[in-house]
Amino acid sequence: MNIEDFGKNLIFLPDATKGAVKFLTTDQLRSTGTQGVVVNTLHLLINLGVEKMEKLGGIKSIMNWEGYVLSDSGGFQVYSLIHSEKWKGGIDENGVTFISPKDGLKHTLTPESAIDIQLAIDSDVLVCLDDCRFSEVSRKEAEISVERTLRWAQRCKKHFEKKILKSKKLLSCVVQGAGYLDLREMCAKELSKMNFDGYNFGGYVVNSEGNLVTDEMEKVIENIPKEKFKYVMGVGKPNDIIKCAEIGYTVFDTVLVTRNARHGSLYSFDEGKETDYLLRIGNSQYAKDEKPIDSTCDCETCKNYSRAYINYLLKIKEPTGYTLATIHNLRFYQRLINSLQ
Ligand SMILES: [Zn+2]
């Protein structure tokens, strides 16, 4: 792993939300060819805590993982939890304050503390705290979100530069602006002046009809530096990754790939692009199918087991079935990404 190369080639990062890819050991994760993972700052903060993370030497040491780790800022999750009134809290110019349901303690996520927590996680790629809103926002609200995102990006960068002396880490920012193309452009241009290592497409990646917001994505790409990595957060389904790679994005992540595996939505090149490579292993037609999930796949699951076996294991909710399905789906995504390089 060379941090300077992050995002130069296409890379897909599965989610290791709380410090593990569900149902996989780190060795099994390596076997899929995965080069990096995304961890969730908020979950690590409230479950593991800063003190413990620092004592144990950070998430890479804890996971025994030598690949890339990208941490999000925690902002997106905490905003959604507050907006949906699942958590108590509030947002103002200083940051986000919330009560953790774990211990009842009050936490404040500011641009500076979001960086500090990510440094305790010891991730390689950090993300600035941004002001994220729901997809359908008024122009006024989108303007406020962009302006605050810019001020917070500046504060994050200043704090990051003060803290980072020797060890090389990357700091990325988030481009907001919702569906307003001129705001997307302005946000991208202003952030470019601040010279980040990477630029992330923020906000919602699909519209209310479930289609990718390609106009917004293109507008952002046109207005950020060519040589920096470009991360489209939360994308996505195989065909969406193909489309975003065509637009110019290089870094992808989604919780779908592992969650779908556990729910029996597997991916197979035998299925083809028209159906987004989806193979629903729970369907009765696979109950006696002796073929592997994907005839072209070289993963542990496809080399050793049949569709019938995976169909059976998932039906009885056997954890080994979740493991084998996850290994296959992660390998599929790596092969998909390799085919697009
Ligand atoms: Zn496979």
Q: 136 versus 336: which is more confidently predicted?
A: 336
Tell me the catalytic residues: 72, 253
Q: Are 98 and 87 in contact (CB under 8 A)?
A: yes
Domain residue spans of the chain? 3-254, 262-340
**β strands within 10-160, DSSP E:** 11-14, 36-39, 68-71, 89-92, 95-99, 106-109, 125-127
- Average pLDDT on 54-70 reads 97
What is the distance in angstroms between the CA of the first residue and the CA of the last residue of the chain?
A: 18
- Average pLDDT on 53-66 reads 97
Which phi and psi angles does 256 have, rounded to 5°? Answer: -55, -40
Q: Residue 331 and residue 181: Cα distance in Å, rounded?
A: 36
pLDDT in tens, 9-49: 999 999 999 999 999 999 999 999 999 999 999 999 999 99
| pLDDT > 70? residue 166 | no
pLDDT in tens, 197-213: 999 999 999 988 889 99
pLDDT in tens, 78-127: 888 887 888 888 888 999 998 888 888 898 899 999 999 999 999 999 99
The CATH code belonging to domain 3-254 is 3.20.20.105
Kindly list the protein residues that place their beta carbon closer than 5 angstroms to ligand 1, a single-atom ion: 297, 299, 301-302, 328, 331
- How many angstroms is it from 277 CA to the middle of ligand 1? 13
pLDDT at 101: 84
**What integer best gives the mean pLDDT of the chain?**
95
pTM of the model as a whole: 0.95
| pLDDT > 80? residue 135 | no
| pLDDT > 90? residue 167 | no
- How many angstroms is it from 313 CA to the middle of ligand 1? 16
Q: Residue 217 and residue 231: Cα distance in Å, rounded?
A: 10
Q: Are 95 and 132 in contact (CB under 8 A)?
A: no
